[in-house]
Amino acid sequence: MKILGTGIDIIETKRIKKVIASNKTFLKRVFTVREIDYCEGKANKFQHYAVRFAAKEAILKALGSKGIALIDISIKNLDNGKPEAVLSGKLKNLGKNIVVSLSHCNDYAVAQAIYYSR
């Protein structure tokens, strides 16, 4: 295995909360329907939106890609709780070569992504 890129991102939860409250199109431009359903089902939904946003940014950094829409990157949780990156569009085939790690608390969300080749 060879690491081709890494990325990390941290964001304040209140920043995501403010953007969601003030920008009606933000959710649909950034998050998939599955991500929105997942986050809306959580008691602290803004922490979950924030950590997914951080993961998308970390993945972009790991790929070194520009001009990719955040909506083309989705984060889902496997049955065991492990997060998994799901990519669509021109990134579709890269999803299997990215691992992500997520963490959040009341005030901050952080994510790390590693892009590798087999």
CATH number where 34 lies = 3.90.470.20
Number of structural domains found in the chain: 1
Which residues span the domain enclosing 103? 2-117
> Does the pLDDT value for residue 66 go beyond 80?
no
Q: Which residues pair with 12 in a beta bridge?
A: 108
Q: Which two tokens stand for residue 60?
A: 């972009």
Per the annotation, the verdict on 48 as an active-site residue is no
Per the annotation, the verdict on 61 as an active-site residue is yes
Please state, rounded to an integer, the average pLDDT across all residues of the chain.
Answer: 93
Q: Which two tokens stand for residue 83?
A: 């997060």
Q: How confident is residue 116, by pLDDT bands cut at 50, 70 and 90?
A: very high
Of 14, 92, 96, 104, which residue is the catalytic one?
Answer: 104
pLDDT at 31: 98
- Residue pointed to by tokens 């963490």: 103
- The model's pLDDT over 86-97, given as tens digits with 9 standing for 90+, comes to 998 877 777 678
- The model's pLDDT over 4-28, given as tens digits with 9 standing for 90+, comes to 999 999 999 999 999 999 998 999 9
Of 2, 45, 48, 61, which residue is the catalytic one?
Answer: 61
How far is the CA of 10 from the CAs of 16, 33, 55, 80, 96, in angstroms? 11, 23, 9, 24, 23
